[in-house]
């Protein structure tokens, strides 16, 4: 992040433009000490080449950002927490010279990837325009050597964090569904991690997505997610993909819905460890057959059954019924007998069990007329 201000100051009370002194105030902020030192060196070298006098860089007090994260993924039944500290470094550089020198300057660059244009003319204070340049990124499949970088990216940007064994589990089981975006320096600035659904046939599940804050609003999340979608379709023959997102995370929800074509499948009460509700969202790949009872349009609202309530939902647009019932062992015996009775010449019955909240079972019964 760079803040630039261009000032005109009269020197010695002389109104002549030749003696007028122009000052440029640059503030650099970063959590990476090496990156901010490199940006300072590049800026100072570029300023000296343009015959500007340099004062700084002035080191401002370091701020410490303290983060408390869950030690293991949600659902493993642990309440252990890890505490991390991220230091924020700040540098201030002041450049000044006469109007004749400054008026010839059209731009100077700050690494990484920020172009700051400032032309000091006239009296008063002006703020230079900042234009973010396109950053060169590489999208590729993750390897074992990338797991530490993925974990670091997750700790900084995402509230839900995982143990290293959870990353190994995804990478060893579904190696094509973990993709990363790397910068020109080689560090990981974004990732997506997915797996196959255990209780839904031919469906994937997007486990986690993260992008560094300095690389957001560039479409990185969409690119890595689309790469994961391609792997699900081409290699695992998936027809749809599911994910969970916080109801308060409106930015991620808007991206999934508007940019990637996800729709709300249901609302899961108190899904996250802090008791916040989650949207269960679903995306059906183009050309795939609808295999669940929900089929939404942009004007229709989803039918929601709270996990704590028991009931039956039937959608007339498809041939599937969902039961949300308290978990009881005798339910399996009754439903198994019902399944055997219905497997005749007219119908084929299929049960799928989903255990999203505790002590509540979802039974999906699909009727296909032969």
- pLDDT bucket at 100, cuts 50 / 70 / 90: low
Q: Per-residue pLDDT averaged across 82-97, rounded?
A: 74
Q: Per-residue pLDDT averaged across 175-179, rounded?
A: 90
Whether 75 maps to a domain, the answer reads yes
| CATH for 211 | 3.40.630.30
Q: Per-residue pLDDT averaged across 232-246, rounded?
A: 90
d(CA 344, CA 340): 8
Extract the runs of DSSP E, i.e. beta strands, from 19-172. Answer: 21-30, 53-59, 63-70, 81-98, 108-110, 114-117, 125-127, 129-132, 138-141
Residue finishing a domain among 132, 155, 172: 132
Asked whether residue 63 falls in the same domain as residue 100, the answer is yes
Residue finishing a domain among 263, 291, 319: 291
Asked whether residue 128 falls in the same domain as residue 144, the answer is no
Residue finishing a domain among 77, 107, 132: 132
Percent of the chain whose pLDDT exceeds 90? 12
Residue among 43, 46, 6, 40 at smallest CA distance from 23: 6
- pLDDT bucket at 355, cuts 50 / 70 / 90: very low
- Structural domains in the chain (count): 3
- pLDDT bucket at 158, cuts 50 / 70 / 90: low
Q: Which domain holds residue 350?
A: 304-370
Residue-wise pLDDT for 14-45, tens only, equals 444 445 566 777 777 777 777 788 888 888 88
Q: Which of 15-19, 36-40, 141-145, 236-240 has the lowest mean pLDDT?
A: 15-19
Q: Residue 244 pLDDT > 70, yes or no?
A: yes
Distance, first Cα to last Cα, the chain:
63
């Amino acid at each position: 992040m760079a803040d630039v201000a261009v000032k005109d100051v009269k020197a010695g009370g002389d109104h002549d433009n030749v003696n007028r002194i122009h000052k440029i105030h640059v503030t650099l902020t970063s959590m990476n000490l090496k990156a901010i030192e490199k940006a300072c060196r590049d800026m100072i070298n570029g300023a000296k080449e343009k015959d500007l006098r340099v004062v700084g860089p002035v080191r401002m007090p370091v701020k410490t950002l303290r983060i408390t994260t869950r030690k293991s993924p949600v659902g493993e039944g642990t309440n252990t927490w890890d505490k991390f500290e991220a230091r924020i470094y700040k540098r201030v550089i002041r450049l000044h010279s006469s109007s004749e020198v400054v008026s010839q300057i059209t731009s100077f660059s700050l690494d990484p990837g920020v172009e700051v244009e400032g032309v000091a003319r006239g009296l008063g204070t002006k703020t230079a325009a900042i234009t973010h340049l396109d950053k060169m990124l590489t999208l590729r499949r993750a390897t074992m050597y990338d797991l530490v970088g993925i974990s670091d990216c997750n700790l900084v940007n995402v509230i839900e964090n995982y143990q290293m064994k959870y990353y190994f589990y995804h990478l060893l089981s579904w190696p094509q569904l973990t993709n990363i975006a790397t910068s020109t320096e080689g560090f990981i600035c974004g990732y997506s991690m997915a797996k196959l659904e255990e209780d839904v046939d031919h469906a994937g599940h997007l486990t986690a997505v993260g992008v560094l804050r300095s690389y957001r609003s560039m479409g990185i999340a969409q690119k890595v997610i689309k790469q994961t979608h391609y792997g699900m379709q081409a290699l695992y023959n998936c027809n749809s993909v599911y994910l969970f997102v916080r109801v308060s995370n409106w930015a991620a929800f808007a991206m999934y819905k508007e940019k990637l074509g996800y729709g709300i499948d249901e609302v899961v009460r108190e899904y996250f460890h802090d008791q916040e509700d989650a949207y269960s969202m679903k995306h059906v790949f183009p050309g795939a057959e609808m295999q669940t009872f929900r089929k939404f349009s942009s004007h229709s609202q989803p039918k929601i059954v709270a996990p704590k309530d028991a009931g039956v939902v039937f959608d007339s647009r498809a041939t599937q019924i969902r039961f949300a019932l308290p978990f009881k062992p005798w339910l399996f015996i009754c439903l198994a007998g019902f399944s055997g009775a219905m497997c005749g010449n007219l119908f084929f019955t299929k049960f799928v069990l989903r255990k999203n909240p505790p002590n509540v079972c979802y039974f999906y019964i699909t009727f296909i007329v032969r």
